[in-house]
Amino acid sequence: MKLGTLFLENKLILAPMLQVSTAPFRRFCRKFGNIGLVCVPMLYTKRIETHSRSVLRYLQKIEEERPVSVQLIGSDLDALKSSIDFLESYQFDVLDINAGCPSRRAIKAKEGGYLLKNLGELETLLKTSVKYSSRPVSLKMRTGFNNTNNIETIADIVNRSGIDFLTIHGRTVKDRYYDSTLDLNTIKKIKSLVKIPVVGNGNIYDGLTAEKFLEFTNVDALMIGRASMRNPEIFQQINQYFSKGIEPKHENSFSKVRKNLKLYEECVDEYLDNTIDMPFSHEKFKLMELRRNAIWFTKNIQDAISLRTQISKTKNLEELRDLTAFD
């Protein structure tokens, strides 16, 4: 399928998730089957402008992950231009602009989700990105800041901006992540208003929710975030549902958790091999990655709350390995 000028093998995208969809995680999810596009979580343009070395670890070996998107967050034009310039030498496929982050930090800095309140600035940032980037540019946004009243104006901006595609998460910035509020109507509306492909995002957790999302909104592709933390096979399972109409059964067992952790460790090792500019030791990085995922992988297992508490307290790989050997 095509998203603007970008060719993707399928219409499923792994969402950018800060401190979750890390390089090992992106590699890991792809071990189960191909994913159309994977996304590097937001990089602050101000940080790139002043301390570019500090983001090197998020970009190394990125060429091995193609097709891959890199996301920038910021509202300062000079910082945006110098970030685009800095990124030029890396081999990635899409430059994504964040206009959805609801964090206090982003709103205070008038960036991310705040841009949906400051549409003039959003337009300038998008046009600047299109002008300076040699890669296709996309925008990732929410349905509005406090409400969806501006959606037509936003659609006009998107149409004028020259970007290649739009990703929309069906919540306002104010809604943050509250589950009851996913708004497919506004996604459907913006899809009918813009002339570029639209990626829909929010609360997709199996084949049926993916199918309903597509049918109701008519979007071109789907982005999946949190569901992949519990179930990294979700992309392959949804693709299977699309082709065969069968929802695969989840295997929730300790042996599955152990198998996944082993595979995850291989992905961390692949990523760490010959890496540079890590702010912590390889051992510490590995522990953080494996501990976080061990907690997620055991979420589908009944009565594993105390196990997860123990996992969260492990101080080294040996302790973690002992706890997750499940012998």
Ligand X SMILES: Cc1cc2nc3c(=O)[nH]c(=O)nc-3n(C[C@H](O)[C@H](O)[C@H](O)COP(=O)(O)O)c2cc1C
Active-site residue numbers? Answer: 101
Peptide bond between residue 67 and the one before it cis (omega within 30 degrees of 0): yes
Give the residue with the Cβ less far from ligand X, 15 or 80.
Answer: 15
Q: In this chain, which of 13, 14, 16, 128 binds ligand X, going by CB under 6 A?
A: 16
214 counts as binding ligand X under rule CB under 6 A? no
Structure tokens at 22: 């890390």
CB of 225 to ligand X, least distance (A): 3
| Measured distance CA(106)–CA(29) in Å, rounded | 28
Q: In this chain, which of 169, 191, 291, 292 binds ligand X, going by CB under 6 A?
A: 169
Region of 83-91, 190-198, 223-231, 296-304 interacting with ligand X (CB under 6 A)? 223-231
| Measured distance CA(278)–CA(55) in Å, rounded | 10
Q: In this chain, which of 23, 72, 204, 290 binds ligand X, going by CB under 6 A?
A: 204
Q: In this chain, which of 1, 5, 9, 18 binds ligand X, going by CB under 6 A?
A: 18
42 counts as binding ligand X under rule CB under 6 A? yes
- Strands 94-99 and 221-224 come out as unpaired
197 counts as binding ligand X under rule CB under 6 A? no
Which residue's C-beta sits nearest to ligand X? 225
40 counts as binding ligand X under rule CB under 6 A? no
10 Å CB burial of residue 125 (0-12, 13-18, 19+) is buried
Q: In this chain, which of 41, 67, 197, 200 binds ligand X, going by CB under 6 A?
A: 41
Q: In this chain, which of 37, 55, 224, 234 binds ligand X, going by CB under 6 A?
A: 224
* Binders in 19-38 for ligand X, by CB under 6 A: 20
Q: Where are the alpha helices (DSSP H) in the chain?
A: 23-30, 45-51, 56-59, 77-87, 104-108, 119-132, 151-161, 184-193, 207-217, 227-230, 234-244, 254-272, 282-297, 305-312, 317-323
299 counts as binding ligand X under rule CB under 6 A? no
Distance from the Cα of residue 207 to its chain's centroid: 19
Region of 17-25, 190-198, 211-219, 286-294 interacting with ligand X (CB under 6 A)? 17-25
97 counts as binding ligand X under rule CB under 6 A? no
Give the residue with the Cβ less far from ligand X, 112 or 197.
Answer: 112
Task: Count the site residues for ligand X by CB under 6 A.
Answer: 21
Classify residue 176 as left (phi > 0), alpha (psi -120 to 50) or beta.
left
Distance from the Cα of residue 85 to its chain's centroid: 23
Q: In this chain, which of 71, 75, 293, 324 binds ligand X, going by CB under 6 A?
A: 71
| CB hemisphere CA count around 36 (13 angstroms) | 21
Amino acid identity of 307?
A: L
Region of 16-24, 45-53, 150-158, 292-300 interacting with ligand X (CB under 6 A)? 16-24
| Residue 268 Cα distances to 24, 181, 204, 233, angstroms | 5, 36, 27, 18
Site string for ligand X, 175-194 (x = CB under 6 A): --------------------
109 counts as binding ligand X under rule CB under 6 A? no
10 Å CB burial of residue 148 (0-12, 13-18, 19+) is buried
Q: Do residues 239 and 9 make contact, with C-beta atoms less than 8 angstroms apart?
A: no
Q: Which residues contribute to the site for ligand X (CB under 6 A)?
A: 15-18, 20, 41-42, 71, 98, 100-101, 140, 169, 201-204, 224-227
